[in-house]
């Protein structure tokens, strides 16, 4: 019988992130590095750092790891790797190398689980066309896994969260609700079919999404992970000095996630994300509570949220669906800055 990794955690995947408010408090007095070749640093809380090497090559550097988000060790490795690679794709880059980050309790969990996690991670890195070139392991409980990833991008084609403009159309590539689904699995309330769909969604690389963004010269995007759709949208609005309006009726949700949220199966991370956005977010008066919390639900290996031109929006959505993202939808629009960062419509 395989060891159930979910039995080791209360908050797995990106739900284990430090809250955005606490992170901002910690970082506010730490000086940001400055360098003429540093194209993207920490000021805008972007998905990764970007450093210019030559006129044609910039490197993207990112790191991500977390506790188990599913029961199976191999699938955990796949999801954690897909999630770490996603930051490179959100910047429009190509992943080239990765380092394993592994924290594993060698006396509490069978070592086969460690091997399976690493095999799952390698499978996704191979799928990305990148190479695992080493890593680091410590003895720690509960287990945690992820990658430090290096990618490349042309310096003139970097995609950031700070380049949204009024009139841009918002496109989301994956459905949300992974945090709620995983919480439902932990308490035995989610169906096997809905759980499987969520796992397959988390394992899906954002690689083709990055390719399509470059094809259409998209210059503003982010991926949706631990701060939820609204948290990451707010970070984009802050970095771009704009207001983002989201049509909640257009946001795709994972099957079973709304029903679970309506039963009260809402992870703690959703409440932390709600706290981060609420004062700077206007909610339509008719928006029901369960949908509001799903918009704050912490995602693991979520989709890309991209800002595209109105004339390209339909073509991009069609390309994304053909490329393996069937839930891709237009979910909103960018406006000039108002008193709120986010406006959520019905």
pLDDT of the residue at 32? 73
Rg of the chain (C-alpha set) = 19
Q: Answer yes or no: are the C-beta atoms of 60 and 48 closer than 8 Å.
A: yes
Q: Which of 291, 297, 282 is nearest to 248 (CA)?
A: 291
Residue 113, CB-side half-sphere exposure with 13 Å CA sphere: 26
pLDDT digits (tens, 9 = 90+) for 275-321: 999 999 999 999 999 999 999 999 999 999 999 999 999 999 999 99
Q: Which two tokens stand for residue 292?
A: 């509001």
Cα–Cα distance, 133 to 118 (Å, whole number): 13
Write out the residue limits of the CATH 3.90.650.10 domain(s) in the chain.
169-345
Q: Which residue blocks in the chain are alpha helix, DSSP H?
A: 20-27, 73-90, 111-127, 178-186, 192-203, 207-215, 228-240, 257-262, 268-277, 289-296, 310-322
> Tokens 């954002």 appear where?
206
Q: How far apart are CA 346 and CA 326, in angstroms?
A: 23
Tell me the β-bridge partners of 241. Answer: none
Backbone angles phi, psi at 97, to 5 degrees: -140, 160
CATH of domain 169-345: 3.90.650.10
| pLDDT higher than 80, residue 191 | yes
Distance (Å, rounded) from C-alpha 270 to C-alpha 210? 27
Write the CA distances from 21 to 17, 168, 271, 283, integer angstroms: 11, 27, 12, 20
**pLDDT value of position 299:** 96
Checking if the pLDDT of 31 tops 80, the result is no
**Domain(s) of CATH 3.30.1330.10: residues in the chain:** 5-157
CATH classification for the domain delimited by 5-157, as one of 3.40.50.300, 3.40.50.880, 3.30.1330.10, 3.10.180.10: 3.30.1330.10
Catalytic residues: 14
Q: Please state which of the ranges 18-32, 247-261, 316-330 shows the lowest mean pLDDT.
A: 18-32
Over residues 83-100, mean pLDDT = 97
Across the chain, how many H-helices and E-strands are there? Answer: 11, 13
């Amino acid at each position: 019988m395989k060891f159930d990794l979910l039995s080791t955690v209360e908050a797995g995947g990106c739900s284990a992130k430090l809250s955005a408010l606490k992170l901002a408090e910690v970082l506010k007095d730490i000086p940001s590095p400055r360098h003429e070749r540093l194209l993207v640093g920490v000021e805008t809380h972007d998905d990764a750092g970007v450093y210019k090497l030559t006129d044609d090559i910039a490197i993207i550097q990112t790191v991500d790891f977390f506790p188990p988000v599913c029961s199976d060790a191999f699938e955990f490795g796949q999801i954690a790797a897909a999630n770490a690679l996603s930051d490179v794709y959100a910047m429009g880059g190509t992943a080239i190398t990765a380092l394993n980050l592994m924290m594993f309790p060698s006396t509490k969990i069978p070592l086969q689980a460690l091997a399976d996690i690493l095999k799952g991670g390698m499978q996704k890195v191979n799928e990305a066309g990148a190479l695992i070139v080493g890593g680091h392991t410590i003895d720690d409980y509960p287990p945690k896994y992820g990658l430090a990833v290096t990618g490349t991008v042309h310096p003139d084609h970097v995609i950031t969260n700070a380049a949204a403009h009024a009139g841009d159309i918002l496109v989301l590539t994956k459905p949300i609700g992974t945090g709620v689904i995983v919480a439902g699995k932990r308490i035995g309330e989610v169906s096997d079919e809905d759980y499987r769909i969520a796992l397959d969604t988390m394992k899906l690389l954002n690689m083709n999404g990055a390719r399509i963004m470059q094809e259409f010269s998209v210059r503003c995007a982010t991926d949706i992970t631990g701060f939820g759709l609204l948290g990451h949208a707010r970070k984009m609005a802050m970095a771009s000095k704009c207001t983002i309006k989201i049509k909640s009726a257009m946001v795709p949700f994972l099957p079973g996630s709304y029903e679970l949220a309506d039963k009260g199966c809402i992870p703690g991370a959703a409440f932390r994300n709600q706290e981060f956005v609420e004062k700077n977010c206007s909610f339509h008066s008719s928006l029901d509570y369960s949908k509001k919390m799903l918009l704050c639900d912490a995602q693991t290996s979520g989709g890309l949220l991209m800002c595209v031109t109105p004339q390209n929006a339909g073509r991009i959505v069609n390309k994304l669906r053909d490329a393996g993202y069937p839930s891709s939808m237009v979910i909103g629009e960018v406006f000039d800055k108002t008193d709120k960062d986010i406006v959520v419509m019905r």
